[in-house]
Amino acid sequence: MAQRTLALLGASGSIGGSTLAVVAAHPDRLRIASLGARANWRSLIAAARAHRVGVVALADPKAAAEARASGEFAPGTRILEGEAGMTEAACLPEVDVVVSAIVGTGGLRPTLAAIRAGKAIALASKEILVLAGAAVTAEARARGAALLPVDSEHNALHQLLRGKAPAEIARLILTASGGPFRTRPLDSLADVAPEDALRHPNWSMGPKITVDSATMANKGLELIEARWLFGMPPERLGVVIHPQSVIHALVELTDGTLQAQMSPPSMAYPIQDALLHPDRPPCPAPRLDLTQTLGLELLPPDSARYPLLGLALDAARAGGALPAAFNAANEVAVAAFLGRRLRFTDIARVVERVLASSAAGDDTLDAALAADAEARRKAKEAVGSLAR
Ligand code: MG
């Protein structure tokens, strides 16, 4: 395989760190041309030096000015700023693959620009497909730009679907760990504190996604993403709880056969597949130990425990800009919960109220961004009226 050159947008986050480890394990196959982050420039210094990166982009202009003045980056390093800088870092001529892992909507336009420039996208940022799934997938098709999912479940589905005809596929099933409160008495969920929700049993991730994993809002967003990535209507997507996080997804074939993809719960596996497919060198992460009992369980999700999963499916079915509204309302509610201004069980109430007062509208990027802003405003009102 020829060496692939990456732009890593979201380099300071959890996916960014795992990506750097995968690149370091395969220096003959992968190199990094540019690093992007929202504002945390200090976290980029070591990676920029280790990977001899020539271009650094910071969405926050103040952070870019600090980074330039710091003298911490090698002489000659270009430090770009704002959305335009992020877009330039993604679209450098030598870049083959853009790792799109910026949390929030900041990665949307740079990623769309990279697709238009024909770059392959290793997609980790949820907002891109939740807000702009129709626009992004249509553009990628038109430009012949590959969308390679990084998220463990979608990457597993991508692996399972290789070599299969669409006519063989009945349903796609994502697994969910069920989070830390899977067996906690339902009537005690209202008393959950942020520090309880931040203790994820299997994965180490950022605080927002860890809370989303406890409520299963994360799985709801992943259903919406799967719909666009694999061109599947919501009624052919399913979720099953699998507390061990070893099976990442299943495909149900038309004859009733199920095929599962398994790997240890380390993001190095899906990231490496997204970056190196079709090559499959050994992954720099622990392997499953089959001399130990795995005790894998598969359980149906309980809708009373995880109301956000049903709300996400409703939003996916209604389409238009409702998935964007779901995402924005959830983000505001989770921030309020983490700030101890909202009960855990009221996260779903906030989202439900916002969705009930939102119209689907159309599914353009502009409509999604407008719905995002409107849903944030409504969610803040709802948080205010439910505040503890
Ligand atoms: Mg996932």
Q: Ligand 1 centroid vs 193 CA: distance in angstroms?
A: 23
pTM: predicted TM-score of the whole model, two decimal places: 0.93
Place 12 in a pLDDT band, splitting at 50, 70 and 90: very high
- DSSP class of residue 93 equals T
Q: Which residues surround the ion ligand 1 when the cut-off is CB under 5 Å?
A: 151, 153
Q: What tens digit of pLDDT does each residue of 161-196 get? A: 999 999 999 999 999 999 999 999 999 999 999 998
Closest CA to 10 of 100, 98, 82: 100
Which tokens go with 192?
Answer: 């959950």
The structural domains of the chain, with segments of one domain joined by +, span 4-124, 154-386
Q: Ligand 1 centroid vs 63 CA: distance in angstroms?
A: 30
Q: Residue 206: pLDDT above 80?
A: no
Q: What tens digit of pLDDT does each residue of 310-351 get? A: 999 999 999 899 999 999 999 999 999 999 999 999 999 999
Per the prediction, the chain carries an average pLDDT of: 94
The phi, psi pair for 311, rounded to 5°, reads -65, -40
Q: What tens digit of pLDDT does each residue of 48-95 get? A: 999 999 999 999 999 999 999 999 999 999 999 999 999 999 999 999
The reported pLDDT for the residue numbered 354 is 97
The reported pLDDT for the residue numbered 203 is 66
Q: Ligand 1 centroid vs 207 CA: distance in angstroms?
A: 14
**CA–CA distance, 47 with 59 (Å, rounded to integer):** 18
Q: Ligand 1 centroid vs 241 CA: distance in angstroms?
A: 13
For a pLDDT cut of 70, what percent of the chain falls above it?
A: 98
Q: Residue 208: pLDDT above 90?
A: no
Coil, strand, or helix at residue 285? coil
CATH of domain 4-124: 3.40.50.720
Q: Ligand 1 centroid vs 152 CA: distance in angstroms?
A: 5
**Residues sharing a CB contact under 8 Å with residue 224, sequence separation 6 or more, in sequence order:** 129, 130, 133, 312, 315, 316, 323, 326
Q: What tens digit of pLDDT does each residue of 92-108 get? A: 999 999 999 998 788 89
Q: Ligand 1 centroid vs 153 CA: distance in angstroms?
A: 5
The reported pLDDT for the residue numbered 250 is 98
CATH of domain 154-386: 1.10.1740.10
The reported pLDDT for the residue numbered 103 is 81
Look-up of token digits 């770059």: 119
